Amino acid sequence: MTLWFENHNGDEREIAQVNTWGDVWQAIDKFIEECNARKPKGANPFVSYYSRVWQSGERWKIDVGSHTEFFYTDLPYDMTGDDS
């Protein structure tokens, strides 16, 4: 399954192949770390204080607090919390 990032212009790009929701969260954390590493010295890093997930068409939309940028995945969502 795939994880995409949508920037503030609405442009999407694939950022990872994922098999579990644990993989999704790890890939998002890695993406945020890499983005923060590219910021100029002294710039405030992005910190995610919350996350929300909801269905958007055939995919799941993931909000990590940026207000204008989102992640999407086509990985099935297990409401039971069993990520095996």
Report the predicted TM-score, pTM, of the whole model to 2 decimal places. 0.87
Range of the domain at 51: 2-73
Total domains present in the chain:
1
**Is position 78 within any domain?**
no
Q: What are phi and psi of 39, to 5 degrees?
A: -70, 150
| CB proximity list for 48: less than 8 A, separation 6 or greater | 32, 64, 65
* Per-residue pLDDT at 32 exceeds 60: yes
**Is position 21 within any domain?**
yes
The residue among 84 and 46 whose pLDDT is bigger is: 46
State the Cα–Cα distance between residues 9 and 50, nearest whole angstrom.
22
Per-residue pLDDT of 36-83, as tens digits, reads 999 998 899 898 999 999 999 999 999 999 889 999 999 988 766 665
pLDDT interval class at 12 (50, 70, 90): very high
- Token pair listed for 29: 């954390």
29-33 contact pairs (CB < 8 A, 24+):
31/5, 31/71, 32/64
**Is position 79 within any domain?**
no
